[in-house]
Structure formats: C-alpha cells, structure tokens
Amino acid sequence: MDSPIYLDYNATTPIDPEVVTEMLPYIQTHFGNPSSSYGPGRHNKQAIEKARSQVAGLIGALPEEIVFTSCGTESNNLAICGIAFANQEKGKHIITSSIEHPAVTEVCRYLASLGWEITWLPVDKYGTANPEDVKKAIRPDTVLVSIMHANNEVGTIQPIAEIGVIAKENNIIFHTDAAQSVGKIETNVNALGVDLLTIAGHKLYAPKGIGALYIRKGVNIENLMFGAGHEMGRRPGTENVPYIVSLGKACELARENDVIVHEHIFQMRQRLLEGLKQKSVSPITVNANLENCLPNTLSISFANIEAHTLASVIGGQVCISTGSACHSGSVEISQVLKAMKVDHKRAAGTVRISTGKFTTPEEIDRTVQIISEAIQKLITL
C-alpha cells in the first residue's frame, strides 16, 4: 500500500536526508563526552559549537546567545519561568495572547497558580493580536511579554516587530515562540526586536527531541534545572550531540535555501487552495488573512462538513489536521478558533493543511481530488 500524502508539516516534518547524513556519525562513531578534555570529547565539543553557530546564523544571533534544549516546549518553559523567577522583585505580571500553544499557555497557568498575574490579550477574527492592546496592558510590575511569532493552527503572523518596539520603550523583556515560523519566514531576532526566541527542531526537518532558546546577551534569566555547567551554565545535562548536530544542519539548510523553500511552500499552498475552490462542492472559508499568514498553512472551513469525519475518511490517503476534536460524540473546538470567535459550526468544519519543502504538485493535485470526492460523498450521505 502507498503511504499517505503528508500535508501536516505544522505538526512535524520528516527529517531531511542531509540532516540524517550529518548526524549519523555522531550516533555510530563519535560518542565522546563533549566535556572530556581528550580528542573524542573535544571533537564533539567542536561539533556542538559549530551547530550553535549554524543556529545563530539562521536567526541573526551570536552563537553564545543560543542554548540547546530538548524541544520547543522546554524552550518556552525556560524562557517564561526563567524570566519570571529572575524578575520577581520588579513584579509578577506577564502579558501573553489568547492563541498561544499550550507550551506557553500552560506555563502561564502554572505561574498564575504560584501568584503571577497573566493578561491574555484578545485577537481579531484572523487571530492577530493588536500592539495597542499590548501597550495598554503594560503595568509597572510587568516583567515579560510573550507572543508567538506565527500561529500553529491558522498560520497568522503576529506584528512582532511592532510589539518589540513597545516592549523596548517600556523596558520589558520580550519572548516569542517561533516554533512555527523558523524556516518558513524570516526570523531575524534584531529585526523582530525580541529578547528570547523559541526554536523547535522537528518543525524544520531535524528530529523530534531537540530545540533551542535564543537569549539576548545581557538578559538575566534563572535556570530551571540544576547540575553541572553545560550550555554556558544555563541548561545542565550531558549534551545530545547527534541531535544538536542535526539542528545545526537543519538551520544551515534553512538559511541556504530560504528563498526557494519559502516560495515553494507558498506555491504548493496556493495550488491547493485554488484546486479546492474549483473542485469542492462545499463552500470554503479561509480562516486567516493570507496576506499575513505562514506561506505553507491553510486553515479552511468546509460548510456542512464535520472536519474530523472528513479527516478520518481520507486519513489512509492524506494526512491533515482538524480544528476540533471529537470526544465521546461531542465536538470540542480549538482554543485558537474560539479566541477568533469562529462560530461552532464553522469551527467544526475546519481543517489545517500545511505544506513543506518535500511537497510536490502531484501530491497537491491528488489531494484536491481525494478531498473533493470525500466531500461529495459526505454531502450526499
């Protein structure tokens, strides 16, 4: 049986074969502990430092501003709790948005349970936060603004550079969760004006289980784990050398091929949208403003279709996500769509289709065919 067409690159990406080639020697041969002073240890230490430079190069940072972590979730935890704990004397107020990934919302909820106050900013119908709302929410005790760069479900890109200016004017530390944007759009930390930025390896063709956090030089942050002095004293634990090497290579590739990849994933997304508009018998609503959206992401709602039924009907042929989950017969709408005030019926018909650098025009055309046929069947049932 053919494997299904994969169009869920926002969930995770396959590992790039060039990344596999780069990391394999560190699984098979180079096993030295990077903290050891003899040859094999030093070799691996150098490999880590090369990877640090590659990651830094992609986002316009200095190598010493990159800390390797186990995933995007860990990077968000370190950023948010680390800044909150380090700045308790100044205050205990954090500003975030209502469409963040649970890797941010749950950290904020945890801090709220310890006494921090969280302001959850609203978003408009496309899921965009308003910089003016950030300005209004700032208080003397605000210690952190954390707003994602691009949303994982609908792809909306936030006005990070504008928020960065406001944060800087008010002397407030600014974190962005860029797990979805790195490798899909430009993510230069200076252009964005951020102090901390989260990277998740498995969203950019590295394996699952590796991430990084950019911490601007001079930003005071508390550790969340305690041990030896790895990662410049910020994240103890013997380094996962093969995975660190893989993230470095993935970032190098993302930097080298940025224009081609960004254009390709956009072309594939547009081909899909045009195809579905022409062939689907169910009217389509696009949930984001595509002028201000990740180039690979298409969140659309089909009228009178339950997305989870559609996803399960086509699941053997095409992998996509839905904007709702079905629990014991009732449909639960995602928090992001709720925050965008998408009505229940439209939300229940929402799918997220996300293209990647390995997506082909043939796969897109086949997907249009499969989805259109499935919708035709579901409507006539």
Ligand X SMILES: Cc1ncc(COP(=O)(O)O)c(C=O)c1O
Residue numbers of the site for ligand X (CB under 6 A)?
71-73, 101, 103, 148, 152, 177, 179-180, 200, 202, 211
Q: Which of 222, 203, 377 is nearest to 296 (CA)?
A: 203
Nearest to 201 by CA among 150, 250, 238, 236: 250
Shortest approach of ligand X to residue 202 CB, angstroms? 6
Closest residue to ligand X, based on beta-carbon distance: 72
**Which residue number, 152 or 287, has a Cβ lying nearer to ligand X?**
152
Would you say 200 and 101 are in contact if contact means Cβ atoms under 8 Å apart? no
Q: Note if 293 is an active site residue.
A: no
Of 44 and 354, nearer to ligand X (C-beta) is 354
Least gap, CB of 336 to ligand X (angstroms) = 10
Q: How far is the CB of 46 from ligand X (least distance, A)?
A: 26
Our CB check for ligand X shows the closer of 71 and 251 to be: 71
Q: How far is the CB of 279 from ligand X (least distance, A)?
A: 29
Which residue's CB is nearer to ligand X, number 179 or number 268? 179
Catalytic residue (choose from 81, 251, 293, 326):
326
Cβ neighbourhood burial of 254 (10 Å; 0-12, 13-18, 19+):
buried
| CB nearer ligand X, residue 67 or residue 71 | 71
The backbone region for 171, taken as left when phi is positive above 0, alpha when psi lies in -120 to 50, beta otherwise, is: left
Q: How far is the CB of 59 from ligand X (least distance, A)?
A: 16
Q: Give the up-direction half-sphere exposure of residue 351: CA atoms within 13 A in the CB hemisphere.
A: 27
Beta strands 211-215 and 66-69, pairing class: antiparallel
To the nearest 10 degrees (0 to 180), the angle between helices 361-380 and 307-314 is 120
Taking the complex as a whole, the smallest distance from the CB of residue 219 to ligand X amounts, in Å, to: 20
CB of 179 to ligand X, least distance (A): 4
Of 180 and 282, CB closest to ligand X: 180
Q: Could you give phi then psi for residue 79, rounded to 5 degrees? A: -65, -50
The nearer residue to ligand X, 101 or 249, going by C-beta atoms, is 101
User: Catalytic residue positions?
Assistant: 326
